[in-house]
Structure 1
């Protein structure tokens, strides 16, 4: 399967492992002008490295992610995109509460932001599932049993971009590790369960 870049960055590839470099102050987020941490309005950015493929129809996309969690909002990310104003991402992120959490953002004109469960350690599996215009994000601690973090709809066409993002919105950047990536072009029986 062919991958390509939006906002190209450094990439190191070995067997079943990709390392993407997140430059400083990079993210995908469209601010709603709501104050965030310490009363600061999150900045609208669309400059994070996105290494993606295009998929037509239903799919299951899963990957093991890890990183060093240096700065707030540093994350290894799985993202689905129609265009620059219609996309969604599932992030393993250092939150503004100081935790490691599976966080999701859905953007349809403006971005929302939903913290999910906190994770002990620096590694988790992320999964994105599509059924028509319905999508679900899941996480797993072992790559076998997945739990839903988000169910949502996006007004997309037959084909969407799906791939990996390395972000560091408030930090000086760093490496994000993605391992054992698999893509299955199939329709799941239960999108909430992800299988």
Structure 2
């Protein structure tokens, strides 16, 4: 689940999922220089969400990925070309809470 500067000079909510091979799916453009990202897991089902204001979140991607019961998460900043830039991470939280599984109704 990423927020990146695209090859077109826009900022976008982007996702990459690796199941043997990795894909790269550009999402919608975001007009500001910041975004809120959210990852939600129910069993082996994951959902990525983004927000431009930190209040209204929209689904970027929903997928199934066989995983162990406990996974590691973290943050990464990269600049594959150019001089990079300044990254600021704020309001980071990792929570264990119940969410509704839309498919099963649980």
Same fold flag (TM > 0.5)? yes
Structure 1 or 2: more strand by fraction: 1
Q: CA deviation at 1:175?
A: 2.8
SS at match of 1:182: coil
Structure 2, unaligned stretches of length 5 or more? none
> 1:162 is matched with which residue?
73
Partner of 2:57: 146
| Aligned residue number for residue 124 of structure 1 | 35
CA offset digits 1:129-160 (Å, max 9, x no partner): 01011001001122111100010111110111
Aligned residues of 1:127 and 1:139 also touching (Cα < 8 A): yes
Which residue of 2 is the match for residue 109 of structure 1? 20
Runs of 4+ in 1 over 2 A off after TM superposition: 171-175
- 2:7 corresponds, among 88, 96, 100, to 96
Q: Conserved in 2, the CA contact under 8 Å of 1:138 and 1:147?
A: yes
Name the TM-score, length of structure 2 as normaliser. Answer: 0.88
CA contact (8 A) 2:42 2:101 kept: no
Look up the SS of the partner of 1:164 in the other structure.
coil
| Secondary structure at the counterpart of residue 118 of structure 1 | strand
Higher RCO by CA contacts (8 Å cutoff, separation 6 or greater): 1
Secondary structure, aligned partner of 2:100: coil
TM-score when scaled to structure 1?
0.50
Cα contact 1:135–1:191 (8 A) shared by 2: no
Cross-structure match for 1:178 = 89
- Matched residue SS, 2:76: strand
| 2:105 counterpart of 1:188 | no
